[in-house]
Amino acid sequence: MSGLRERKKAATRAALSWAAIRLTVERGFDDVLVDDIAQAVGVSARTFNNYFSSKAEAIAARHLDRSLRLADELRARPADEPLWAAIRAAAMVQFEPGPEVEQAPPGDHADWVSGLKVMLAEPALQGEMLRAVAAAEAELAVAVAERTGTDVKQDLYPNLVAAAVSAAVNTAMRHFVYADPPVSMERLLSDALTQLAAGLPVPVTR
């Protein structure tokens, strides 16, 4: 029973976060109220406040949850799999069919990206995103340390790997927003992690 309860709570949290994102993209950050987000999901504002302290935190939660899932998926990879192959495979899980993908806001790519640009420029959201990135990076460093037999408090390596992966995710996200013609986030993140695994070789130009 507790497992079902936890899944329902996770589903409500994700639905509220996606609703916050969708409404902010459609209307702009300042024109979305907590009541609007709660109503979109069919819950009360009090229920919203049980999950999030602000609409900015609700928006940043999608990035945080996906990033934390990467650490969980890395722990589940075969122990004999090379580290960077395991990291890439763990990162790609977020694009597989499931509740997270199915709840993603639909709509025209150009409208969605245009809204994201406005949304990500909000100072309140930037602060929440920085906190989300820091929390996710710390958890990934722990997972890398467990996998490599290093000490997250004493060794540079797991923290450096986590920071590099975080940079890859953020860079891929920025390219997703500004790429012309459009490129999928899945392709961008896969390419970024592949280049990291290869040691960031200098591109061959003609």
Q: What is d(CA 87, CA 78) in angstroms, rounded to the nearest whole number?
A: 11
Write down the pLDDT at residue 149: 97
Domain ranges of the chain: 55-197
For residues 190 and 92, is the Cβ–Cβ distance under 8 A? yes
Topology (CATH level 3) of domain 55-197? Tetracycline Repressor; domain 2 (1.10.357)
Q: How large is the average pLDDT for residues 31-36?
A: 96
User: Could you tell me the pTM of the whole model?
Assistant: 0.84
pLDDT digits (tens, 9 = 90+) for 156-166: 999 999 999 99
pLDDT at 71: 96
pLDDT tens digits, one per residue of 72-96: 999 999 999 999 999 999 999 988 7
